[in-house]
């Protein structure tokens, strides 16, 4: 039965798929994603298999294929989960009063790194895998939100009134910051101390702000 379900899903991904509408289904999905995170923490994404995930989650391989097409689909689901959490924290940081030192920059950095605590290795491996496969487009709605906020609300850097940016300036600054934060998430050994990254990123943003300020 399990093998038939697995084979059917691989041959036609649309067949046998269930929408997670019930609490029991959501619980099963949660177990499988949690199992995948634990396995990634232990052996990396290369050692991850659907059989290992099913065994660790305590479900049949057929049940796994009812919700996921395979390993990559599970990794994509984990990445989507990470991006959703990061997006909510970044939105909160953009809405909260800025800190005195560095304005919103330390707040944004903290928002990105908030979920990378005890399982930093696993989360970093998930994001690295997704980015390496060109699937980082899930971050685009978050980038659009930041660009809109910078264009309409302005940029606080802790040094006076917010600086209003043009759409082009907001686009360039957002993706410059995103590049730094992406590097923080995907770099393993050799990553500089977080405090130094925060200072350097603040310098980058304040320097950009100074250069973008209208001349008087």
* 8 A C-beta contact, residue 93 and residue 111: yes
Q: Are residues 32 and 48 both part of a single domain?
A: yes
Q: Are residues 81 and 64 both part of a single domain?
A: no
pLDDT per residue of the chain (216 residues) written in tens, 0 to 9: 444 444 444 444 444 455 556 888 889 999 999 999 999 988 888 878 999 999 999 999 999 999 999 988 998 888 888 778 778 888 888 777 776 566 677 777 777 766 554 456 777 777 777 666 655 566 777 788 888 877 887 776 665 667 777 888 888 888 888 788 777 766 767 778 877 887 888 788 778 767 766 655
Q: Are residues 128 and 176 both part of a single domain?
A: yes
Residue 103, by phi and psi: left (phi above 0), alpha (psi -120 to 50) or beta? left
Residue 44's SS3 state is: coil
CATH code for the domain in which residue 136 is found: 1.10.357
Q: Are residues 96 and 191 both part of a single domain?
A: yes
Please say which residue of 11, 43, 69 terminates a domain. Answer: 69
Domain that holds residue 176: 77-212
Please say which residue of 69, 95, 114 terminates a domain. Answer: 69
Beta bridge partners of 179: none
Q: Are residues 17 and 107 both part of a single domain?
A: no
Q: What is the pTM assigned to this prediction?
A: 0.66
Q: Are residues 50 and 82 both part of a single domain?
A: no
Q: Are residues 52 and 83 both part of a single domain?
A: no
Q: Are residues 46 and 123 both part of a single domain?
A: no
CATH code for the domain in which residue 47 is found: 1.10.10.60
Q: Are residues 93 and 59 both part of a single domain?
A: no
Q: Are residues 104 and 185 both part of a single domain?
A: yes
Determine the length of the chain. Answer: 216
Query: How many domains does the chain contain in total?
Result: 2
Of 29, 23, 48, nearest in space to 38 by CA: 48
Q: Are residues 89 and 150 both part of a single domain?
A: yes
């Amino acid at each position: 039965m399990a093998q038939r379900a697995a084979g059917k899903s691989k041959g036609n991904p649309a067949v046998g798929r269930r929408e997670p509408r019930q609490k029991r289904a959501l619980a099963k999905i949660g177990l499988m994603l949690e199992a995948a995170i634990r396995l990634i923490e232990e052996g990396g994404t290369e050692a991850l298999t659907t059989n290992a995930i099913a065994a660790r989650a305590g479900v049949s391989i057929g049940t796994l294929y009812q919700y996921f097409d395979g390993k990559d689909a599970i990794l994509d689901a984990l990445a989507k989960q990470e991006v959703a959490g990061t997006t909510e924290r970044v939105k909160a940081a953009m809405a909260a009063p800025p800190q005195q030192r560095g304005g919103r920059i330390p707040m944004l950095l903290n928002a990105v790194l908030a979920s990378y605590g005890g399982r930093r290795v696993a989360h970093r491996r998930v994001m690295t895998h997704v980015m390496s496969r060109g699937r980082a487009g899930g971050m685009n709605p978050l980038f659009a939100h930041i660009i809109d906020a910078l264009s309409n609300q302005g940029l606080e850097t802790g040094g006076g009134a917010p600086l209003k940016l043009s759409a082009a300036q907001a686009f360039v600054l957002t993706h410059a910051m995103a590049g730094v934060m992406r590097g923080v998430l995907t770099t393993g050994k050799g990553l500089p101390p977080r405090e130094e990254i925060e200072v350097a990123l603040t310098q980058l943003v304040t320097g950009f702000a100074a250069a973008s300020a209208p001349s008087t």
